[in-house]
């Protein structure tokens, strides 16, 4: 068994956390990840209802410890979501895409651990000063909303900058990926794209087929899907999605996709048509080539990382 902060202090069998992907990761996926020995997370959109959050938490709890992910930039307008998350009492609350400082003390008062995704040295230092329990170094290879620095340099920078345990996110979708970030000093891996073809996600079958056929070169980091849905995501956090006809036409022209535009009408008329609609994925989509249960994904990555690390370490050094 691999021994890291996540296994020794948090009791996980595998040092793997499922990313809280809003609109994709609900209680069913979270429960599957937790049953497999990782920590499953429920993703909440900025438009979610508090009663829905509580219902989802009750389902996920049946499989053991779980987490919830919220977006800090949305909480000024939606404090009810934060209150509902406190009521739900997850093991972990992920508060990302903003400054977590105003929220950490109340989480700790409710015995809830706090994670924050960071995208730079300054964000990592800010998160540590806020008192978070876990920092997620999310590189730009990640699917969905992310920053502009790649995982490998960001992970090294963050590990050198803070003493809080760090997990790596972005581009990790295989046993050697999990083993690699642990060997570099991370406490584990935060995975999203690796789970996207699993039937426990909220993706429709046609979206899963799009994911399975996509390659690592076929993604784009863009604001166009946020702007066409009138979602106020901060400029610092574009979303990585599969390239399609809509991005080819409108990426870089985000100012032209407002509610009165042809692009807006086209997009909302063709939801579910993934030549127009979005599928957020990371560059590790090139490693996702089969429909597998979430439990199988987590166990294969966790056990495979253990085996890979043993074999790799044995070949790196002369016998004592």
Query: What's the pLDDT tens digit per position in 6-63?
Result: 999 999 999 999 999 999 999 999 999 999 999 999 999 999 999 999 999 999 999 9
Q: Quick one: 65 and 171 in the same domain?
A: yes
What does pTM read for this prediction? 0.96
CATH number at residue 166: 3.20.20.70
Q: Quick one: 129 and 183 in the same domain?
A: yes
Q: Quick one: 221 and 303 in the same domain?
A: no
Q: What are phi and psi of 105, to 5 degrees?
A: -60, -40
- pLDDT (tens digit, 9 = 90+) per residue, 53-95? 999 999 999 999 999 999 999 999 999 999 999 999 999 999 9
* pLDDT for the residue numbered 219: 98
Q: Quick one: 240 and 102 in the same domain?
A: no
Torsion of CA 79, 82, 86, 92, to 10 degrees: -170
Q: Would you say residue 283 lies in a domain?
A: no
Mean pLDDT (whole number) for 249-263: 93
Q: Would you say residue 61 lies in a domain?
A: yes
* pLDDT for the residue numbered 318: 83
- pLDDT (tens digit, 9 = 90+) per residue, 109-122? 999 999 999 999 99
Question: What residue numbers bound the domain in which 230 lies?
Answer: 215-269
Q: Would you say residue 277 lies in a domain?
A: no
Residue 214 reports pLDDT greater than 70:
yes
Alpha carbon distance 21, 70 (integer Å): 10
Tokens for 23? 């609109």
Q: Would you say residue 204 lies in a domain?
A: no
Tell me the CB-side half-sphere exposure of residue 137, using CA atoms within 13 A.
33
Distances (CA, A) of 180 to 56, 112, 151, 183, 309: 33, 29, 12, 5, 8
Q: Quick one: 40 and 160 in the same domain?
A: yes
Closest CA to 301 of 153, 181, 184: 181
Closest CA to 31 of 65, 68, 7: 65
Q: Quick one: 154 and 262 in the same domain?
A: no
Bridge partners for 43 per DSSP = 69
Q: Quick one: 194 and 219 in the same domain?
A: no
Q: Quick one: 182 and 299 in the same domain?
A: yes
Q: Quick one: 300 and 163 in the same domain?
A: yes
Q: Would you say residue 320 lies in a domain?
A: no
For the chain, how many structural domains are there in total? 2
Q: Quick one: 119 and 54 in the same domain?
A: yes
DSSP 8-state class, residue 39: B
Q: Quick one: 112 and 227 in the same domain?
A: no
């Amino acid at each position: 068994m691999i021994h890291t902060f996540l296994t020794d202090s948090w009791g996980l069998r595998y040092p793997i956390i499922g990313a809280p992907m809003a609109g994709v990761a609900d209680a069913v996926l979270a429960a599957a990840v937790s049953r497999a020995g990782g920590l499953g997370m429920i993703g909440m959109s900025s438009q979610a209802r508090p009663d829905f959050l509580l219902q989802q938490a009750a389902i996920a709890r049946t499989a053991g410890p779980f987490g919830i992910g919220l977006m800090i930039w949305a909480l000024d307008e939606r404090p009810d979501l934060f209150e509902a998350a406190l009521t739900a009492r997850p093991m972990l609350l992920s508060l990302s895409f903003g400054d977590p400082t105003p929220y950490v003390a109340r989480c700790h008062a409710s015995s809830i651990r706090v994670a924050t995704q960071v995208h730079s040295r300054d964000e990592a230092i800010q998160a540590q000063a806020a008192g978070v329990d876990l920092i997620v170094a999310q590189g730009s290879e990640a699917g969905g909303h992310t920053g502009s620095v790649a995982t490998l340099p960001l992970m090294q920078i963050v590990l050198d900058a803070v003493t809080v345990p760090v997990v790596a996110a972005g581009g990790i979708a295989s046993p050697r990926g999990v083993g690699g970030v642990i060997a570099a000093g991370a406490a584990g891996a935060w995975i999203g794209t690796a789970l996207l073809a699993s039937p426990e996600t909220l993706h429709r079958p046609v979206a899963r087929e799009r994911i399975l056929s996509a390659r690592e070169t076929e993604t784009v980091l863009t604001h166009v899907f946020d702007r066409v849905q009138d979602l106020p995501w901060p400029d610092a956090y574009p979303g990585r999605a599969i390239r399609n006809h809509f991005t080819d036409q409108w990426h870089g022209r985000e100012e032209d996709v407002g509610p009165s535009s042809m692009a807006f009408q086209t997009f909302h008329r063709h939801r579910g048509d993934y030549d127009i609609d979005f599928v957020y994925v990371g560059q590790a989509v090139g490693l996702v080539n089969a429909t597998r249960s979430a439990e199988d994904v987590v166990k294969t990555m966790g056990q495979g990382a253990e085996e890979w690390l043993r074999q790799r370490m044995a070949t790196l050094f002369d016998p004592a």
